[in-house]
Structure 1
């Protein structure tokens, strides 16, 4: 994700999550999926896609009457961008502080074992 771009807002991220599952898609198709969870006006969804297009989060195919959208960045790229932004803003760039806060007191033994395995794997790659 371009370093000059902002990260998606919560509302934009909600639409991107839907788009990643069903893309390419028209605004109408995404709007129907949004309405399955909660009521929203079609014009609101349309305006959000226009804004996301201006920000560079989505691409728009204008060759048909109904514009077809695809995400400009993968879910993984977007998640990485959000984490980098949060890391810089909330944790002063400290990955350690981020992990400590994320794990907190509610981490299960199974999750700890999975994380330990991941850390071991990452450590082997850096050797």
Structure 2
């Protein structure tokens, strides 16, 4: 039995900066540090050394893996996007809305940024969910 096993079963919660990197890797797939840095620099300035250090810390935490087979190390995400987002959403819902999905939806619907198209999608999703629970 490995000493680190319980630690690995713990859910890792990425920081805001780590989420930026995860989002880039989910969108583009495995990438070297320089390309990740270029993508981040479209949003905010971050130099190569800071990007590399952040990604190395993410490897240490078990969020990323590094492929060292080539000269340029390529990083990829360990856990799939859907799982990570589901975990973060559950935590967000529990923390800010006391676990109430309807409170979250009420907040979203009342948000001035919600478009008619988004409301129509939400309505369709709610209708589909209701159909599934009735069968």
Tell me the TM-score normalized by structure 1.
0.84
Distance 2:42 2:97 in 1: 36
How much has 1:59 moved relative to structure 2?
1.4
Q: For the aligned residues, what is the CA RMSD? A: 2.0
Distance 1:21 1:113, change over 3 A: closer
Partner of 1:14: 20
Query: 1:70-127 CA deviation, whole Å, 9 max, x = no partner?
Result: 1112322222121011011112211121211222252444433321211111111222
Which structure ranks higher in relative contact order (CA pairs < 8 Å, sequence separation ≥ 6)? 1
The alignment partner of 1:37 has SS state of coil
Match of 1:117 among 124, 128, 131: 124
Aligned residues, how many? 126
Instruction: Structure 2: give runs of 5+ residues left out of the alignment.
Output: 1-7
2:64 aligned partner = 58
Contact 2:64 2:77 in 1 (8 A): yes
- Structure 1 unaligned regions, length at least 5: none
Equivalents in 2 of 1:79, 1:89: separation in Å? 15
The TM-score with structure 2 as length reference comes to: 0.80
